[in-house]
Amino acid sequence: MNDDTCASISESVDFIRAMIAADNASGKYGGRVVTRFPPEPNGYLHIGHAKSICLNFGIAAENQGVCHLRFDDTNPTTEDTEYVESIQNDVRWLGFDWGPHLYHASDYFQQLYDFAVELIRRGKAYVDSSTEEQIRQRRGTINEPGTPGPYRDRSIEENINLFDRMRRGEFDDGTHVLRAKIDLAATNMKMRDPLLYRIRKGAHHYRTGDTWCIYPFYDFAHCLSDAIENITHSICTLEFENNRELYDWVLDNVGLMPPRPEQTEFARLNLTYTVMSKRKLLRLVQEKHVKGWDDPRMPTLSGLRRRGVRPSAIRAFCQEIGVARTHNVIDLARFEHIIRDDLNLDVPRVMCVLRPIEVIIDNYPEDLVETLEAPYYPRDVPRQGTRAVPFSRRLLIERDDFEESPPKGWFRLAPGTEVRLRYAYIIRCERVVKDDAGRVIRLHCSYDPNSRGGQASSDKKVKGTIHWVSENHAVRVQVRLYDRLFVSESPDAEDGDFVRALNPSSLEIVEDACLEPAAAAAIGTEFSHLQFERQGYFSLDPDSQPHALVFNRVVTLRDSWGKRQEKETVPQTPPTNAPSPRSASSSKPTTAETDVEQELSDDQKALRDRIVAKGVPSREARLIACHPGLAEFFEDACDEASDARAVAKWIVNELLRELKSRVLSSLAFDGKDLGRLVALVTQGTITHTAGKEVFAAMLAGQGKPEAIVGQRGLEQSTSASDLAGIIDRVLHEHAGEVAAYRAGKVALMGFFVGLVMRESQGKANPSSVRSLLQAKLDA
């Protein structure tokens, strides 16, 4: 999995890997990397989980770390060993190994209980004996703060006593819960005294049995399980963002200090034409819209496995789609592309006629059977192997490969036209036989004996090549053709119920497909997959019997002809250029000025007016006036720099960014220092570019501006000849770019300026650089 080809192909890494690399560099966890995949055993794993598995196990492997498999089994009412087994099976199948690191949250129940008691002792948790409804009421809403209930201030002793009795099973479900004592008015709803433990007296846990009458919630159990296992990076999906504050709170309040696990969220995988929530998948199974969790139309790993998708394809897919924090919906076509790509170079090609129509070769001897040797692989697949294909007078071809009145561009068989039978002869359709209903039942053809594949005179060209089988030699097999489970690109977004978007023809069963005999003999032993030429990749379904083979279509081949037909018959409604919601601009330009104006206090207004009086635009003045202490800082700076406007720009555009994460007083420099830096720039002692470098150094606490300029030799270089030298060298070293620039790619200007600026270490004046460059390039 950890192959360096991948690493070298993609130079950039995702934000999580970048963060871990930074943690390793800083020694935050002493170079340890421990991740975990924490499924709840209440459903089957799906392709979305695969993304998380590949991420967690992949990151661990890349960093010589380990990844734990931990069952998050804190809810006895929904969990089951059936799921535990399928999950382990699926992770292993995907190609990952947790070694000895198989864990269960239920293993930690005693420790978690002890942590809860510790929280109570610290006055950070209490037993609430309100009803479920009362708790909901008192939680408030998004807009209104919650209100404390009558049990919030119970004594520590009473809480411990009650919690102990909850544990002993003295109370019924729903009569008491343990809650964290945080803040019922918190803006983060997750912090409004979240529930930590509930009573599940009668429930039977699949591992701990009836030992426990109380069970911890996710927010309590998960972070502590991570901590117990010494996880370093706890990676989860975006919907847990709000839970992170609580994650940290619990670890803080049971007294766990850094280095300790930290949670990072990424965007889960979504696929077009697919539902991914466990709830919905469970419903598909329970309501029998599919045949089970492993129905080949399901996005579950067991479904994909049964369909014939290989784990290597899923791994490649997860690698391809990347990891980010943006909500995404991956085009199903992209998954299909990867599946084909994964199979293309490995899978032998054979012939199978799905919907046969009979072909009689009138001029072929009645009893002759020729045995043709046909390669398993096309020339572009570097593999060896052939099989024998019997040819005789009575053949079967695909019904779709004959058209009585062909459309333009038709390469296949039609009355009077020729087509090549793959690896065999060229035939011509001489006569069409129909039944009473007018349906074509048989084609009489002639063949050209000199056109056999591989023979000297076989280079006769025909447009089309079709697959076929000899009728008497064909093996009848069942073929299951799968299509997307939903007709809607986003079934989740369907009005009403997602099952209404189910594709009624997601499964088509072909009972008597005709497979060439060699393929029937080799599948299941020699080969796990076959390509039925021109149709798709197929795998053997476990329903197969020795003489009743069942094939699943893994994925179709790309079909540019089919696409073309589709477009001609179904006139596409032109893509409605509905305005993208995100680009919808407001029709009423709101006046930003007045909005901010309203928030200004009288004092702030006075400050702003003083700043404006120095010649600073009101917009910037307002920003400075709003920030505590900034106006004084500004005025100090103005004492050192004559240009108040310039000082304001530096403060607004450079300093304000820093002030988002720390307060003014924590800066290693004062207003006067900043003022002198601004003066250095406005007087032309250093360039603006160098000024920014100095500013960064000042932020880093590296001293006064003058000292930094001195140390680094940042005084503006005025030597025109030096500059000319640098420019000549840069242009000489980048002749290709120069040519491209002269050919019209003027965007390259920034590239050249950047190079020259870097060469001069920011000392050159960028304006002069630009004009000199311009002159040279235009010359």
Region 609-668 residues binding RNA, contact defined as CB under 7 A: 619, 623, 649, 652-654, 656-657, 660
Q: What is the 3-state secondary structure (H, E, C) of 331-343?
A: CHHHHHHHHHHHH
**Number of C-beta neighbours around residue 30 at 10 A:** 9
Rounded to the nearest whole angstrom, what is the least distance from the CB of residue 426 to RNA in the complex?
9
d(CA 295, CA 291): 5
Rounded to the nearest whole angstrom, what is the least distance from the CB of residue 425 to RNA in the complex?
8
Q: Which is nearer to RNA, 98 or 741 (CB)?
A: 741
**Number of C-beta neighbours around residue 708 at 10 A:** 22
Binding RNA by CB under 7 A: which of 204, 434, 563, 662? Answer: 563
Region 533-552 residues binding RNA, contact defined as CB under 7 A: 533-534
d(CA 625, CA 647): 14
Which helix (H) or strand (E) is 110 found in, with range? helix 109-121
Binding RNA by CB under 7 A: which of 207, 291, 422, 712? Answer: 422
**Which residue among 70, 192, 278, 420 is the active-site one?**
278
Region 214-233 residues binding RNA, contact defined as CB under 7 A: 215, 217-219, 222
> Would you count residue 585 as binding RNA (CB under 7 A)?
yes
> With CB under 7 A as the contact rule, which of the stretches 114-122, 450-458, 469-477, 602-610 interacts with RNA?
450-458
**DSSP-assigned states of every residue in 139-174:** T--SSS-----TTTT--HHHHHHHHHHHHHT-S-TT
> With CB under 7 A as the contact rule, which of the stretches 52-60, 137-145, 539-547, 717-725 interacts with RNA?
137-145
Region 378-397 residues binding RNA, contact defined as CB under 7 A: 378, 380-381
> Would you count residue 732 as binding RNA (CB under 7 A)?
no
Binding RNA by CB under 7 A: which of 300, 392, 417, 689? Answer: 689
d(CA 432, CA 447): 15
d(CA 210, CA 212): 5
Region 469-528 residues binding RNA, contact defined as CB under 7 A: none
Rounded to the nearest whole angstrom, what is the least distance from the CB of residue 329 to RNA in the complex?
5
> Would you count residue 757 as binding RNA (CB under 7 A)?
yes
DSSP E strands: which ranges in 72-202? 102-104, 125-128, 177-180, 195-199
DSSP E strands: which ranges in 368-487? 370-375, 386-391, 394-398, 418-421, 426-434, 440-448, 465-466, 468-470, 475-482
Nearest of 681, 637, 629, 632 to residue 659 by alpha carbon: 629
> Would you count residue 210 as binding RNA (CB under 7 A)?
no
Q: Which is nearer to RNA, 175 or 503 (CB)?
A: 175
Region 337-376 residues binding RNA, contact defined as CB under 7 A: 337, 340-341, 344, 349
Residues 6+ apart with CB under 8 A from 356: 396, 397, 398, 399, 514
> Would you count residue 602 as binding RNA (CB under 7 A)?
no
Q: Is the dihedral of CA 373, 374, 380, 383 positive or negative?
A: negative
Binding RNA by CB under 7 A: which of 1, 117, 267, 738? Answer: 267
Q: Is 24 exposed, middle or buried (0-12, 13-18, 19+ CB in 10 A)?
A: middle
> Would you count residue 15 as binding RNA (CB under 7 A)?
yes
> Would you count residue 264 as binding RNA (CB under 7 A)?
no
Residue 291 catalytic? no
Q: Do 753 and 771 form a contact (C-beta atoms < 8 A)?
A: no
Binding RNA by CB under 7 A: which of 596, 600, 664, 738? Answer: 596
> With CB under 7 A as the contact rule, which of the stretches 118-126, 158-166, 314-322, 715-723 interacts with RNA?
314-322
Region 40-99 residues binding RNA, contact defined as CB under 7 A: 40, 72, 74-75, 77-78
Residue 278 catalytic? yes
d(CA 618, CA 607): 11
**Which residue among 165, 201, 207, 268 is the active-site one?**
268
Q: Do 163 and 117 form a contact (C-beta atoms < 8 A)?
A: yes
**Which residue among 40, 358, 632, 715 is the active-site one?**
40
Active site residues: 40, 268, 278
